[in-house]
Structure 1
Amino acid sequence: MSAGANGKSTLSVTSGLSRNAVIIRLEGELDVNALPVLREHLQHVWELPPQPFLILDLGEVAFCDSMGMNELVSVLQRCEARGTRLLLGGVQGVMARVLSITGLRHAFEVFAKFDDALRLAVATS
Structure 2
Amino acid sequence: MSSEAYRKSTLSVTSGLSRNAVIIRLEGELDVNAVPVLREHMQPIWDLPPHPFLILDLAEVTFCDSIGMNELISVMQRCEARGTRLLLGGVQGVMARVLSITGLRHAFEVFAKFDDALRLAVAPP
State the TM-score, normalizing by the size of structure 2.
Answer: 0.95
Q: Which runs of 5+ in 1 are unaligned?
A: none
Which whole-Å CA distance do the structure 2 matches of 1:55 and 1:106 have between them?
Answer: 16
**1:102-121 correspondence runs (5 A):** 102-121=102-121
**1:59-78 correspondence runs (5 A):** 59-78=59-78
State the TM-score, normalizing by the size of structure 1.
Answer: 0.95
Q: Which runs of 5+ in 2 are unaligned?
A: none
How many angstroms does 1:124 deviate by?
A: 4.4
**1:74-93 correspondence runs (5 A):** 74-93=74-93
**1:1-125 correspondence runs (5 A):** 5=4, 6-125=6-125
Which whole-Å CA distance do the structure 1 matches of 2:7 and 2:54 have between them?
Answer: 28
How many angstroms does 1:113 deviate by?
A: 0.2
How many angstroms does 1:18 deviate by?
A: 0.2
Identity value in percent: 86
How many angstroms does 1:7 deviate by?
A: 1.6
Which runs of 4 or more aligned residues in structure 1 lie more than 3 Å from their structure 2 counterparts after TM superposition?
none
Aligned residues: 122
